Each structure stands twice: as structure tokens, then as C-alpha cells.
Amino acid sequence: MSIEFKLPEVSEGVNEAEISSITVKEGDSISAGSVVMEVETEKAVAEIECPHAGTVSKIHVSEGDSVPIGAVLLTIAESNGAPAQEEAKSAEPKEEKEEPKAEKPAKEQEPPKKEESKPSSPQPAQQTQPTTSEAGKIPPPATPSTRRLARELGVDLHQVNGTGPGGRITVEDVQGFVRQLTSGGGSGGGGPVTAPPLPDFSQYGEVERRKLSKLERTAASHLSMAWQVIPHVTQHDLADITNLEESRKTFMSTVGKNGPKVTMTAVAVKAAVNALKAYPNFNASYDAQSGELVLKQYYNIGIAVDTPYGLVVPVIKNADKKSILDIAQETTELAIKARDRKLSMDEMQGGTFTITNLGGIGGTGFTPIVNYPEVAILGMCRSRNELRLDQGEIVERMMMPISLSYDHRVINGADAARFVSKLVRSFSDMFQLLTDC
């Protein structure tokens, strides 16, 4: 007897995944619980365990394929009649129970037909209908990643004209719709810009094409949209961290030796929360449709983490209620999970402000792109010793460059300068930082 093993639910709200690696081949014998492949969602990687024992008779997907939840991954010839049959009976009803949740009653029989063959492009849209449709409306065709972007931006897909095959709504369609709502307020102005086709580079020499991972494609799409929608301005300054750095190193070599490593990023999280409380407009989102500013009464700080697989931004929730030691511990744990590709979707959602620290690499300043729908982001660069004049005397001080990019639609230059000045004072005065906490 043959068993069809289908892609199970990877995490809540994820309707599609990309096959990043397949760890078995046709003819392999596997035991129940064996890892047969890894799949990549928009922000994380998950191992897929097969609950069936037997021989892999057919692999229905290839590395790089994007497949919906419930798509057939493997056909397995049972090696032991009773156990495999029991697993099939216990697993298949679960799939059947999940399908009605993803379809209207009249459509209940349609998904199984599509799952018997290689998943076609309309299938993800059908499976995600319940999460995006409104009462009495038929959900427009769109991939799960497009629907997710629309939810993040607050876009009703019924109002978007699809330019993809069969009228399918693409990520670019959603981005263009948002740009129109902002009335040309994006950095480029003049509405959407379509990149011209690339020339044939092979005429100049040898080239190689590498397909971007799902994570890289998602990041590229989001950053492109944020840059075009938000009119960016960046405020630069230098923070004197001489006393702060001395205190940090002393703490880490004495009482904090056996605790979490207190980095400048952890300190910056606390300093940012204090500045956000003083200037609430920075802890907000701009609703272009209503012309309102959504002021958030919680402080969730995103930390940009560089990984071999791309940039991810885990979020420290309720940072205002945590000590610097708590933040240091959580920052370390999230960074490890990010590099191991073990972050959950919940750990990367809900941010109100983002910090990106390039101090470990170098640089004297840069323009970080605001993490939409936030309205500001703080960039930090490598600190350096500089000679300064202090009460008529030349002294050596450790200065850290900081760069604040912000949405000029809701934040004016004067407020940005005040916000940065408060950050500089917090970094420069350890006592003020501790008392503000």
C-alpha cells in the first residue's frame, strides 16, 4: 500500500513554503519521524518529519519549489503493513478536516483533486481564502506572501488590480497600490517605477545566476516598498560613550562576569525606549488611508540580525518593562535562534521601532531604511577614539556615530534632532540612562 505524505502546517498563518533541501531520495528506506526535507517560509526554516515508515517510491517536489500547505511531498510504500496503514489512517483524516476550514462548502472537493498532481499556482489562493475574504466576497487570486504583505500594510486586495497571469495580484501590485494611496509621497515620487530589463552580461564575460532564497526575496520586496513609500530623511550625530563603555566593561569583568553579555545594542534598546516615551510620534505608524497617526502604547524593539541566509529582525516585546540584563539575555537568545534559522513568526512580528548595529563591522555612518510600517529606525556604527576640547583641555573620548532615519510625513526635522539629542545624552550620561530606566 502506498501513502501520500503531504506538507503539514509549518506555523500559524503560513500557507506556503519553499523547499530548501530534500534529505532523502527515491528508494530510501525511512523510519517514522525521519526528517525528509527542510522548508523555508518568509522568515524561518523548519524541518519536516515524516510520520510514516517505508520506502520512498516517489518525490513530488524539487528544491526551490514553492508549495502550499497540504501539497503532496512524497509517496511512500509501506514497509510494515499494520503500522504504516495505521499512520495513514490517523494522518489522512487530519488533512481532510483541515481542508474544509480552508474552503467554502461548495469547494470542499476541489483541493484534493489539485493535490493529486503538482500544485498549480491558483491553489495557494484557494487555501488562504478564509483568512483574507470578507463576508459575501470571493477572495481575489493572490499568493500567500502577497496576502501577508497586504495584511501588514492594511490593504484590501479587492481594491487592487492584479497584473499577474489570470488577474493574479502580485507583490508589486500591492506596493503600487500603497504608493498611489500616499499620493506620490514616496522617496522617488511620480508613482511606481518599473525596472528596465537587464542587458546580456554574458557578452562581456562569464556570469552565474543564483536564485534568491525566499527570505532574500521577501526582504528585497519589503525594503523596495518601504523606500518608495516612505520619504526618508536621516539625522546623524556622535554620542560620547566613554563613561558608558568604561562602566560596561567594569561590570562585565566583575559582578556581571557570569551573567548575560551586556552589549551596546542592549543599552541602545533601553535608551531608545526612553526616547520613544518622550517623543511618542516615533513609536507610531501612519495610516495613509485615513490620514491618521496610530500611536502605540507598547514598546517592541526590533533588532536587525545579520545571518548567512539574509537579514532578519527579531523583536524584543515590552522592552520598557525589562531591565538591561533581561534585554541582553533575550537579545543573545534571539540572535542565536536567528542564525540557526529557528525563529518563529511571532518572534519577528509586532515591532514598533528598529535598531541596526554595524559597530562590529565598521563604518562612520549610513542611511538605514525604515522598517515599514514603523516610522523610524536607529543605526549604530563602530565607535572610535577622538580628540575633543573639554574646558580648555584636549582629551581623548570614545565617540559612537548614530544615524536615525525617519518618515518625514509624520516626523519633522526639529523633532528628529531632539530625539537624537536625547539618545546622545542617554549614551553620554550613565546616571541619566539608569534613572530614566
Which tens digit of pLDDT belongs to each residue from 58-80?
999 998 888 888 899 999 997 65
Single-letter residue type at 40: E
Task: Tell me which residue of 63, 148, 150 sits closest to 345, measured CA to CA.
Answer: 148
| Ramachandran sector of residue 165 (left: φ over 0; alpha: ψ -120 to 50; beta: rest) | beta
Task: Tell me which residue of 204, 377, 368 sits closest to 302, measured CA to CA.
Answer: 377
Separation in Å, CA 172 to CA 145, 169, 421: 11, 8, 38
pLDDT digits (tens, 9 = 90+) for 246-258: 999 898 888 888 8
Confidence band (pLDDT; 50, 70, 90) for 383? very high
Domain boundaries, the chain: 2-77, 216-434
Q: What is the mean pLDDT of residues 302-327?
A: 93
Percentage of the chain modeled with pLDDT above 70: 80
Which grid coordinates are listed for 208?
552565474
Q: Give the 3-state secondary structure of residue 98.
A: helix
pLDDT of 79 reads 65
107 pLDDT higher than 60: no
pLDDT of 119 reads 43
Task: Tell me which residue of 174, 142, 130, 103 sits closest to 16, measured CA to CA.
Answer: 142
pLDDT of 241 reads 95
pLDDT of 94 reads 43
130 pLDDT higher than 80: no
Q: What is the mean pLDDT of residues 262-279?
A: 96
- Alpha-carbon distance of 175 to 227, in angstroms, equals 11
pLDDT of 100 reads 44
Point out the residues that are catalytic: 408
pLDDT of 132 reads 39
pLDDT digits (tens, 9 = 90+) for 135-183: 456 778 877 667 777 777 778 888 888 887 777 788 778 877 876 765 4
Percentage of the chain modeled with pLDDT above 90: 47
Q: What is the mean pLDDT of residues 288-306?
A: 94
pLDDT digits (tens, 9 = 90+) for 177-224: 876 765 444 444 444 556 788 899 999 999 999 988 878 888 888 898
216-434 adopts what CATH topology?
Answer: Chloramphenicol Acetyltransferase (3.30.559)
Single-letter residue type at 172: E
pLDDT of 170 reads 83
**Contact (Cβ atoms closer than 8 angstroms) between residue 344 and residue 11:** yes
Residue 119's contacts (CB-CB under 8 Å, 6 or more residues apart) are 67, 68, 71
pLDDT digits (tens, 9 = 90+) for 304-316: 999 888 889 999 9
Residue 32's contacts (CB-CB under 8 Å, 6 or more residues apart) are 50, 51, 52, 53, 83, 87
Task: Tell me which residue of 291, 281, 289 sits closest to 150, measured CA to CA.
Answer: 289
**Contact (Cβ atoms closer than 8 angstroms) between residue 275 and residue 281:** no
pLDDT digits (tens, 9 = 90+) for 334-352: 999 999 888 888 899 999 9
Higher per-residue pLDDT: 197 or 418: 418
Q: What is the mean pLDDT of residues 295-312?
A: 93
Q: Where are the beta strands (DSSP E) in 280-392?
A: 284-287, 292-295, 301-303, 305-307, 310-312, 315-316, 353-357, 376-380, 384-390
Q: Which contiguous run of DSSP H or E holds residue 173? A: helix 171-181
The answer to whether the Cα torsion of 181, 184, 190, 193 is positive or negative is negative
Q: Quote the DSSP letter at residue 238.
A: E
332 pLDDT higher than 50: yes
pLDDT of 96 reads 42
Confidence band (pLDDT; 50, 70, 90) for 282? very high
**Contact (Cβ atoms closer than 8 angstroms) between residue 282 and residue 301:** no
Q: For strands 45-50 and 34-40, give the pairing.
A: antiparallel
Residue 407's contacts (CB-CB under 8 Å, 6 or more residues apart) are 230, 231, 232, 286, 370, 375, 376
pLDDT of 12 reads 64
Its pTM stands at 0.66
Q: What is the mean pLDDT of residues 272-294?
A: 95
pLDDT of 38 reads 86
Q: For strands 292-295 and 232-240, give the pairing.
A: unpaired
Average pLDDT value over all residues in the chain: 82
2-77 adopts what CATH topology?
Answer: OB fold (Dihydrolipoamide Acetyltransferase, E2P) (2.40.50)
**Contact (Cβ atoms closer than 8 angstroms) between residue 273 and residue 299:** yes
432 pLDDT higher than 80: no
Residue 232's contacts (CB-CB under 8 Å, 6 or more residues apart) are 187, 367, 369, 370, 405, 406, 407, 408
pLDDT of 1 reads 82
pLDDT digits (tens, 9 = 90+) for 2-48: 899 999 987 766 778 888 889 999 999 999 888 899 888 766 778 89
129 pLDDT higher than 70: no
